[in-house]
Homo-oligomer: A and B are copies of this chain.
Amino acid sequence: MASSRTTRGSRMLPPEVDARVAAIAADRESGASELAMRALEAFEAFATVGPAPAELQELAGTLAAAQPSMAAVRNVAHLCAQLLGEGHEPTLTFQELRRELAGAADKIARNALKVIVGKSIAITLSRSASVIAVLQILHLRGRLSAVTVLESRPRFEGRRTAQELAAAGIPVKLVTDANGPRLVGTSDLVLAGADSVLRDGGLVNKVGTYGLALAAKAAGKPFYAACEVMKLDATHASDSFPPPAGRPPDELDPPPNVVAENVYFELTPADLVTSYITDKGVYEPRRIAQLVTL
C-alpha cells in the first residue's frame, strides 16, 4: 500500500497515514459510511505534517483506489483535499465534515418518515448504518411490525444487523439469502443501504440486492435505498461502472478441485429503485443526475 508519492520522488506517507489507508483497503466488514469516516481520519493524521496541495490530492486518489466501489470514500477524500488545498483551517474543516457525516443517519431516518407511512413489515440485507437508523425510528414511531434480515454475503454480515435490531427491541427474523425474493411477497417494503449511487440512479450495493429488487418489482412492493448524498458517484453511470473485483475465494470454502468466485458488490438498475431516502431529501432515481451536478 505504498503511496504513489514514492515514484514521484516526494516524501513517503507518514507511517500512521499509510497504516490507515492500508486498513481501509483491507476492511471487508465496515459499511461505506464508516469507511468514509476512516478516510476523513486519514486526512486528519496527514494534515499534522503540513502536506502540499498535490500531496493531498495524491492521498485522496490512494484512498479512492482503496475502496473503488464506495463513492463516499472517494468523495470525502477529495473534499478534504480540496478544502485543505484551498487553505481552509484544518481543525474547523474536519469538525464540520465529521458533523456532516455523523449526522447524516439521523437526517435520513427523519426523511424516511415522510415516505414510509402506516405500519410495515420490512425486509433488508447486509449491514448499513442508514438502514438501521431508519428501522429504529420507524420502530420508535410505531410504524414497524417486523423486520426480515437476510444472513447476507459477504461473510454473513446480516447476522450482525439482526442482532443490533433485536437488541433495539425490534421483532427480527433471520433467513437465508435464498429465501429473500420469496419473502418480499409477504413484506410491505424492501429497504437496502447503498455503497454508491451512480449518476443515472443505478444502485451499487452488496450482492443479494438485485434479487430483492427484482422480487419487489414483481410483487408491486416499493424498493427503497437509504444513504447519504455523499455516496453519489459523479464519475460513473451504470454502463461505465467497472465490474466489482473478486474477493478471496477461500471465504466460500470450496470443495477440492472446484473454483470459487467471491464477489461482494452488484449493480441494481435505476428502474428497480422506487426512491432514494437521503439526508437531503427523498429522490426518485431519475433525479439523481441533477443532484450530482449541484
- A residues adjacent to B (C-beta < 8 A): 150-154, 159-160, 162-163, 166-167, 172-182, 206-208, 210-211, 214-215, 218, 252, 254-263, 266-267
Contact = CB atoms under 8 A, between A and B. Distances in A.
Contacts of A255: 159-160, 162-163, 174
Tally of this chain's copies: 2
Given A152-B178, A179-B266, A215 B207 contact: no
B214 A266 contact: no
Contacts of A167: 257
B262 A180 contact: no
A184 to B, nearest CB: 10
A267 B154 CA distance: 26
A253 to B, nearest CB: 8
A177 B176 contact: yes
26 contacts: A151-B252, A153-B176, A153-B177, A162-B255, A163-B255, A163-B258, A173-B260, A174-B254, A174-B261, A175-B252, A175-B260, A175-B262, A176-B177, A177-B178, A177-B208, A178-B206, A178-B207, A181-B181, A181-B210, A181-B211, A182-B263, A182-B266, A211-B211, A211-B214, A211-B215, A214-B218
A260 B150 CA distance: 10
A123 B177 CA distance: 17
Contacts of A154: 176
Contact of A207 (B182, B214, B254): B182
Contact of A261 (B173, B177, B256): B173
B254 A159 contact: yes
A175 B208 CA distance: 12
A151 B251 CA distance: 12
Considering the complex of A and B, which 6 residue pairs feature the smallest CB-CB distances, nearest first? Answer: A178-B208, A178-B207, A211-B211, A181-B211, A214-B214, A153-B176
A159 B259 CA distance: 11
Nearest to A255: B163
B261 A175 contact: yes
A212 to B, nearest CB: 9
Contacts of A166: 257-258
A24 B151 CA distance: 29
B218 A159 contact: no
Contacts of A174: 252, 254-255, 258-261
Given A159-B255, A256-B163, A177 B175 contact: no
Contacts of A259: 172-174
Contacts of A266: 179, 182
A259 B180 CA distance: 16
A259 to B, nearest CB: 6
Nearest to A179: B207
Between A208, A215, A262, A267, the greatest number of chain B beta carbons within 10 A of the residue's beta carbon is seen for A208
